[in-house]
Every structure is written in C-alpha cells, then in structure tokens.
Structure 1
C-alpha cells in the first residue's frame, strides 16, 4: 500500500512539472526570463488587466568618484625645547598653553661662571691689542722687526677668537622660540639642573594642520595638489572641515598598495590637535551628465543585465551595460537614454510586451 502511494505522488509531481514547463512563460516570477525574443518589441502576449508597477524616469546627473579613509592630524611645525649644555635654570618664561612668537625668550641658564671667563678673555684681548699697537708704533721707528709685530698681531687674533667662542657659548645659555606656536606641558622648573638633550617644554605650530592619509594606488592618476578634501572629527561630528591637498608621496607602499597624501587645513580657530584621527573624503573625479538608474530597476540573468522600460503603456525588456555603482544608483553606459521610464517595483510580475499601469508618478514629474 505504501509503495502504491509513493508511485501516485511521483506521478502527480511529474504531471505538475510537465504542465509548469509547458506554461513557463506565464509564470509570474520567471515568465519574463523565458519569454520569446519577439515579445521584447512591445507585442502583447495575452490579455488581462495591466500589471501595476512603480516607475522612475532616468535622468542624467553628477557622478563623483571619491575615497573615504581615516587620516592623522599633524602639527605644521613641532619641536621639543632642549638644552645643548648642562646648566641650572634661573629663569623660565613658560606658561603652559601660551602662544609665543618666534624669538621670544623661553629659558635662561645661570651664566656667572662663563661670564667671568668672558671678562677674562676680553681683558686678554684688550692687553694683546695694546701690546700690538705699541710694537707697531716702535716698528715705524725701526726699533722692532716686522716679524715681531706679525707675531703680536697673531696674538690679537687668537684673543679675539677666544672672546667669540665664549660669547657663542653664552648664547646657548638662553633658549628662544624657533617659530611662533603654542607651548605644551613644561617638564622642568626654575632651579633644575638640566643636562644636554633633556626636554624642557614642547612647542607646536597648529595654525595649520597637516592631515596625512592613504589613498589606493588605483586613484593615483587622478590625484594632484590643489584638490579639496572634507574631514570630520568625532569631536566635532557636525562640523565638516575643508582642506587642500598639498603633497602626494613619491612612493607607493608595497604592502598596502596605497600612496600617502598630505592635505593642509587652516586651523586658525584651534579646533584640531596633532594626533587626532579624522575621517577624510577626497573627490578625485567628476563625471557630468552620467546616466543614473535606480538600483532596484536592474535585473541580472546569466551574467547579463537588463531593465524594463515603459513604451506606450507596455513593458519592454532592454539589455543594458552597467558602469559604476553608488548607494541606490547604477550608472548606465549603454542600452537606454535619458528620459525613459524604468520599472522599479512590481517587475517580478512583468513580462515583455505586458500592459503595465504606473502606480506612482515617475521621479522628475509633478
């Protein structure tokens, strides 16, 4: 009995399959894929009420090629103020967060010992000049040889060099701001004995922020200085910050296959800080009048793409060649022209040549 039931079930399924294959063109989901080619010319196959669909008019628009990456903010100039000599700080003109100008004195070291050396060197120079002057006057009278005066002139030169050397050393006992910027945290205090190279305070010029980010090498040909970038920081999510590309690295990273791009951002308001991460968007290509169709209108079968257009109230199957994709839109390179209507919803029930009724007003029409 069980075997007989199984035979009957198999027979019913076989008959259903044969009937489905014979009427495959009328099936709602796959009928359009098996319709004969002549139906694509607008000929109606069968009667019935029009199929309700949504449609949209394809229109040309602006297509942007861009990259969105993460970049790192860097100061325009940055330095840690250190000393070249060992010395004790006697004056520290540093207020954390203070804006200073180039040449402002930041640190003075005690110079009592070296000042005494300078006084002694200047005295020796003065004496050497006096001896030379007397010898030169005597030489004119024939009482001193020229060799002696030349020897004394050499002594004067040596004394002058000793004075200049000590004066140069004294210059290192005063530290000045090498450029205008803002001071960071001080790391030494008045009275501290500082060794050469020991950090005292940081100085950053953040009036301009350098933003470094990596761009895939595929976009390298389209990059050039002067392009505009838009950056956003999580600290100011609603404030887009505009910058300009200033430099493109001469090398491509062999590991990431990306090139580093540097943009400069005017930071007069001081919103950005070195080390911040920013989301960067760089538009490197613009295509005017690109034909853009809704993504939901595109159907793909066996590797080929097509859309259904509406002509004289009937659905027409149109093969298309696709280009770049954007959220919700696909570029159409070949197959349809601007102004044609494409079906965006209800396409599952449509077959070539079928009557269709648009449920909603196409985009671009009132």
Structure 2
C-alpha cells in the first residue's frame, strides 16, 4: 500500500515539473503586445496621464476688455425747496381763518385774522393826536408869517410834536397789521388745528407752507463717490411708493466735509415737480452712475480667494498660471478686475480648485478628441510574457475604473 502511494506522488511531481517547463518555453516564444497604462487609463472628466503628469479637466472662458460703470446707491428723502412753519408774532384770539388746508396760496395772502379791536382803537387815537398837532403846527406857521408873536422855539416844538404823533400813528397801524397773519411765500398750505375762537400764543405754529413746484432730494453717498460727484451730475430717482416710475434730478449742492462717523458725504439734487406731484418727506432711492475706462471682465466664479488675496488661473499652452486680481466692480455674475490680463486670455472658471501653479489643464472637448485619436495618447507597446498578460490587463482595467470614481 505504501509503495502505491509513493508511485502516485512521484507521478504528480513529474507532471508538475513538465508543465512548468512547457509553459516557460511557450512564454518565451509568444509575447503579447499591450498599451501603456496611460493609454488605457484615459477617461474624460478625470484628466489624461502624459509623461507621468496628470492633466486637470477644466472649463475656460476668455477675458474681455470693455468699459464698465460704477453705480452708487442711496436712500434719501424728497424735500420742498422752500418750507416754512408760519408762526404768530402776537397773542390773541382767532377771529377768522382765511385759508383752506391743502390749497395753494401766494406770498402776502392773509391766512389768519386775530381779534384787532384794541389795535383799531389805538390807531384811531394816534391818528387823532397826529391830526391835532398837525393843525397846531399849521396855525403857528400862519401866525409866524403875519407877526412876530410866534417864536422859533414854538415852531420847533410844534414840528417835534407832529413827528412824535406820526410815529405813534405808524406804530398803532403796525400793531394792527400784525393781527393779520400773512403767507411769507407762495406754496401749498398744510393742515391746521385752529378754528375761529382759538387762542394763539406768540411764537406758536399756525400752518406749514411748502413750495413744491421744484423739490430737492437729500441723500448721502460713500466717500468713494466724491471722485465723480459734481454739480450738474444726473442721478436717477425711484420711489418705493410709486413702482415703475423713474425720475431724474440734478446735483445742486455737495457738502464740503465727510461725516467722520458714517464716512458719507451729504448731497442735494433738484428736480421739477410740476408733473410728478411729489410730497415733502417721501422716501426715494437714488442711483448715481459713473462710467469707467475699460478693464478685463471675467466670470465672478473664476475668482479664488486665498491668504494672499484674490486670484485667477490663466491657461497658457495647457499650463495653469496664477494671476493676482483686484476687483473693481461687479455686475450680476461678471467682475471687472485690475490684473495682468489681456483680451482673449483663457480664464479657468470651473475646476480651478484642482489646480496648482504650473499644473497641466485640459478641457472636456480636448479630452474627448484625444480619446478618439490614437495618436494623441501615448500608446507605446511593450512585450510582456504570456504568464503576466492577465496581470497587465487587470492592472489597466483597475486604473481605468479608479478614474471613473
């Protein structure tokens, strides 16, 4: 029994040695050509392997040099060019209200009559006194021409009495006129709480008059706007209370100082109001547009921020170059930058996070064309023993799958 087992084991060992020698001989005579790993591994979306350097798949857009505009925005208010709170100089009871709230009045129109009976009596008394001393002066002057009984001193005293009486009469008339409150300017009168019989104290407000044929827009802008702010500049005005309505005003006054707390500068602009019908105190949105010289414009998504500030990648002959940028303006999804860029430079807008200075880049279209043209991929063949052919194929397959992840 043991002898049978020994014979069987010897046969198995001999067969194994013979199979190994035969396979080695066949492998030496039979070489199988395979593509390099770089050719088998090329896949769009994962870059290409050339000379051991991986190309990042990116999206490019060209820089365009063109002018742009800076627009400053502010919230302001509509104000009457002239607006006066009419006050009474004297105290008294209201005898008559001579205006209708909300209507227009002219300068000098009577607004309010206060009780004036006492002032009328004072005026009558002063006028009577003036008449008396005037008659006395006339009599003395007649006597002085016909006789020497009237002295020069008497005549001088009579003249003085007349002047004093005239002053008193003028004062009484002035006090009487003060009982009538008049409009100091033309405009639209506001509301009042007074009625006939109300008592008015000296210095109390009676009504407000606003001149609204022209209005001013008061607002404040950042100090950067001082570069383009000048009298006569046009500003666009819109009102939240009137959607869709666009008005234009002209800068009329600019403050000489910037507020140290807010860093804003006060501005006033004038505009006609005959057709607009704006009211004092309305909220307005103001836009000042300043045209700027041409600068490179690029998509905002291309800008990357790092420790050294903002930058973009420029693709030059398939190589990424980092270019520092300073943003000058942004409109929607485009930015204008101060940078070493020129018209037509290819800016990386997608995939920049995968890049480093000097890294290789490739677009999706270029990767697709390279895959379709064998000459574009380094498909160098090498001879590999047949015993290792399956290992090479397995290695290439594994690499390609890894790039699809």
Aligned mates of 1:325, 1:132 — CA distance in 2: 87
Task: Please state if 1:152 is matched with 2:169.
Answer: no
Q: Is structure 2 residue 102 aligned with structure 1 residue 97?
A: yes
How many residues matched? 320
Q: Say yes or no: does 1:234 pair with 2:231.
A: no
* 2:253 maps to 1:209: no
Runs of at least 5 residues in structure 1 that lack an aligned partner in the other structure: 1-25, 36-43, 360-366
How is 1:179-218 mapped onto 2 (pairs within 5 angstroms)?
179-218=185-224
**What's the CA shift for 1:302?**
5.3
1:326 aligns with 2:333: no
Q: Secondary structure at the match of 1:80?
A: strand
**Structure 2 residue corresponding to 1:280, chosen from 286, 291, 303:** 286
Matched residue SS, 1:237 = strand
C-alpha distance in 2 between matches for 1:105 and 1:152: 39
- The answer as to 2:61 corresponding to 1:59 is no
Q: 1:281 and 1:127 mapped to 2: Cα distance? A: 71
Match of 2:138 in 1: 133
Distance 1:270 1:232 in 2: 12
Matches within 5 A, 1:350-365: 352-357=359-364
Decide which structure has the larger Cα Rg and report it.
2
User: Following TM superposition, by how much is the alpha carbon of 1:128 offset from its aligned partner in structure 2, in angstroms?
Assistant: 1.0
Q: State the partner residue of 2:401.
A: none
Separation in 1 of the partners of 2:311 and 2:180?
A: 75
What is the TM-score with the length of structure 1 in the denominator? 0.75
CA distance, structure 1, for counterparts of residue 183 and residue 52 of structure 2:
88
In structure 1, how many angstroms separate the alpha carbons of the residues matched to 2:345 and 2:258? 44
- 1:290 aligns to 2:295 (yes or no): yes
Question: 1:257 and 2:260 equivalent?
Answer: no
**1:338 aligns to what?**
343
How big is the alpha-carbon RMSD for the aligned residues of Structure 1 and Structure 2? 3.4
Distance 1:345 1:320, change over 3 A: same
Aligned CA distance change for structure 1 residues 129 and 347 (closer, same or farther; 3 Å): same
Deviations 1:254-275 (A, max 9, x none): 3223222222232223543222
- The Cα of 1:250 is off from its aligned counterpart by 2.7
Tell me how far apart the structure 1 counterparts of residues 163 and 230 of structure 2 sit (CA, whole Å): 57
1:142 counterpart = 2:140: no
| Compared CA separation, residues 60 and 354, structure 1 to 2 (3 A) | closer
Post-superposition shift, 1:318?
Answer: 5.4
Task: Note the C-alpha offset of 1:155.
Answer: 0.3
Does the 8 Å CA contact 1:29/1:349 hold for their aligned counterparts? no
